[in-house]
Amino acid sequence: MTHLVSVITPVHGPAAPYLADAYSSLAQQEMPPGWDWEWLIQEDGETEDVRPHVPADSRISFDQGRHGRAGMARTMALARARGDLVKVLDADDKLTPGALLRDITVLTEHSGIAWTTSRVLDLLPDGSTVGFEGDPPAGPIAQGAVLERWRTHNYRAQVHPATLCARRDLVTALGGWMALPSSEDTGLLMALNAVSTGWFIGECGLLYRKWPGQSTAQDAHHHEAERQARMKIIEERAEALRKLSAWHL
């Protein structure tokens, strides 16, 4: 029996040309014995801009849907996922060698761990990379630890949601990604940490591409009133889940 990790990628037209690089990084992944990946690409919209860039590989599933931004596209792709694990990979990013192997190893060897994140490097337009200070120690991340630091550090997490790999049943139980214009991945990360223990992988697992067309580079992403609203509902949801989890226990 082959186990699957379902790699979920939302995409819109401007980012579609980067799918080739994402695929190359995925195709080169070393997998544990008995494991394979499936790649679920979901276009945010119904255009002819993305399909020509989808690689020909039987492990790839492509679909389209009404425009609703990345959160909706991710969750619609989740409906097609067959894997026990769900891995995030944005269309313009690249996995590093061994990323999936490390995620799967942690989640299969530690039954109490529900999700992983890893170190990330910014990939700049000239091909150079830039790291970050302040990564947590490699190993377990206690329930609530990411949420607490995020809320006390201007809503900036010490781990990157673009590196997330999580157990599919828990992602589904939490409703997938939040219905937000952006930060939907942060919303899921905070929800996961509110109810479960994670793990930080110290090796770099992702090259996070910086380019003018990415959503986080747009002015709307930094609109202060919208940002405050996004952070407020992310925090309230995570806190409600934390209280519910504590009550249940």
Is the per-residue pLDDT at 212 higher than 90?
no
Interval 58-84 mean pLDDT: 96
What are 182-203's pLDDT values in tens digits?
999 999 999 999 999 999 999 9
Record the pTM. 0.93
Output the pLDDT for position 221: 59
Residues 27 and 40: their CA atoms lie apart, in Å, by 14
What are 131-144's pLDDT values in tens digits?
887 899 999 999 99
Interval 105-116 mean pLDDT: 97
Helices (H), the chain: 19-27, 69-78, 99-109, 145-152, 168-173, 184-195, 224-248
User: Residue 211 — pLDDT band, cuts 50, 70, 90?
Assistant: low
Q: What angle do CA 176, 177, 178 make, to 5 degrees?
A: 125
Output the pLDDT for position 82: 97
Region label for 127, one of left (φ > 0), alpha (ψ between -120 and 50) or beta (otherwise): left
Residues 42 and 65: their CA atoms lie apart, in Å, by 8
Residues 27 and 180: their CA atoms lie apart, in Å, by 31
Output phi, psi for 174, to 5 deg: -85, 0
What are 85-102's pLDDT values in tens digits?
999 999 999 999 999 999
Mean pLDDT (the chain) is 93
User: Residue 43 — pLDDT band, cuts 50, 70, 90?
Assistant: very high
82 strand-pairing partners: none
